[in-house]
Amino acid sequence: MMQQQDQSTEGKRTREHAVKLSDKDFAFICKFIYQNTGIVLNESKREMLYRRLTRIVRERQLSSFSDYCQLLKTQGDKEKDYFINAITTNLTSFFRENHHFEYLIKEELPRLMKTKATMANGKKRLRIWSSASSTGEEPYSIAITLNECMEKVLAKWDVKILATDIDSNVLAKGKTGIYDIKRIEDLTKHRKEHNFYQGCGNSQNSVKVHDKLKSLITFKQLNLLHDWPMKGPFDVIFCRNVIIYFDKATQQDLFARYYELLAPGGLLFLGHSENLGNYQQYFENVGRTIFRKPM
C-alpha cells in the first residue's frame, strides 16, 4: 500500500514536472521563434504555445519542456522546421477579404489589360506574389479571379502567380489543390462549377482545383526574413495577415523590400488589421488596405 502511494506520488511529480512551462523555457522559446520567423510571442500567447508544445513533447516522448528546448538547441534544421510548422497560425479561406478581389476585377486587371506593353515574345507579362500563402486558398482565389476576368485573352499573357510560405506543411497542402468541400461552400455556384471537381466514392467530401488554375501557380518555401531570390518586378503583392505577427522594425524592413520588388504602379494588399505605419508616405492608399506604389 505504502509502495503504491509512493509510486503514484512520484508519477504525479513527474507529470507536474512535465507540464510546467518555466519562465526560462518560455523565454527561450519566444526568442527562438522570433529569431527564426520574426513572430513575436508574448504572455498573451503563452496558453497557445503551451498547448502546441505539450503535443510535441508527447510526440517526442520527452519528459519536460526543458528537454525539448535542449533538443531545439542541439538538433539541426529538421526539428526547427517541425517546430516552426507547429507554431505558425495558418488561418485562411477562399476569397478572404473579398474587397481585394473585387478591386482586382473592377479596377486593376482592366487597367493592366489596357496599359501593359507587349514583350518581344508577343505576350504581356503579369506577375503576382502571394507572400504568406498558407494552404493555398489565397493564390487559388487570385487564379480564379484572373481566369474570370481575362479568360479570353489569357493565352496572350505570360502570367505567373508565386505562392510562398515559411511552413512546409501548408505548402504541401496547397500544392495538392485538394480541399474539404466545406471550404468552398460560400462560393457562388458558378465559381464552384467552373473551378473545382468534386471527388467521388470515398472522396465525395473533397474537391480538387482545376489544372488550369494550378498551372498558373508555383508554390515555394520562403521565409520572409531571409533573402528573396526572385527579382520581380511584381504587379501585385499580397502580404495579408502575416505582418500582424511581427514587430514594427520587421514590418518596416519588409515594406521597404516589397516596395523595391513592386513595379511602378504596382499594388500591395495588406490584411484587415494591418497598416503601413511610417511607410504609408511612399504609397498611395487606393482602397481599404490597398496601396499603390507611385508610377
Ligand X SMILES: C[S@@+](CC[C@H](N)C(=O)[O-])C[C@H]1O[C@@H](n2cnc3c(N)ncnc32)[C@H](O)[C@@H]1O
**Candidate residues 45, 100, 124, 240; the one interacting with ligand X per rule CB under 6 A:** 240
Instruction: Kindly state whether residue 108 participates in binding ligand X, applying the rule CB under 6 A.
Output: no
Stretch that binds ligand X, among 14-22, 37-45, 189-197, 252-260 (CB under 6 A): 37-45
Helix or strand (DSSP H, E) at 219: strand 217-221
Q: Could you tell me which of 110, 82, 54, 229 has the C-alpha nearest to residue 166?
A: 82
Instruction: Kindly state whether residue 132 participates in binding ligand X, applying the rule CB under 6 A.
Output: yes
Instruction: Kindly state whether residue 261 participates in binding ligand X, applying the rule CB under 6 A.
Output: no
Q: Cell numbers of 243, please?
A: 505582418
Instruction: Kindly state whether residue 90 participates in binding ligand X, applying the rule CB under 6 A.
Output: yes
**Candidate residues 147, 176, 223, 252; the one interacting with ligand X per rule CB under 6 A:** 223
Question: Taking a C-beta distance cutoff of 8 angstroms, is the pair 243, 273 a contact?
Answer: no
Between 66 and 130, name the residue whose CB sits nearer to ligand X: 130
Contacts of 248 (CB under 8 A, 6+ apart): 277
Instruction: Kindly state whether residue 241 participates in binding ligand X, applying the rule CB under 6 A.
Output: yes
**Candidate residues 26, 28, 29, 38; the one interacting with ligand X per rule CB under 6 A:** 38
Q: Cell numbers of 259, please?
A: 516596395
Question: Taking a C-beta distance cutoff of 8 angstroms, is the pair 206, 181 a contact?
Answer: yes
Considering only residues 166 through 185, tell me which ones interact with ligand X, judged by CB under 6 A.
166-167, 170
For residues 71 and 278, give the distance between their C-alpha atoms in angstroms, rounded to a whole number. Answer: 40
52 is annotated as an active-site residue: yes
Task: Please identify which of the residues 13, 60, 127, 165 carries the catalytic annotation.
Answer: 165
For residues 184 and 225, give the distance between their C-alpha atoms in angstroms, rounded to a whole number. Answer: 32
Question: Taking a C-beta distance cutoff of 8 angstroms, is the pair 84, 36 a contact?
Answer: yes
Residues lying near ligand X in the complex (CB under 6 A): 37-39, 88-92, 96, 132, 134, 138, 165-167, 170, 223-225, 240-242, 245, 271
**Catalytic sites, residue numbers:** 52, 165
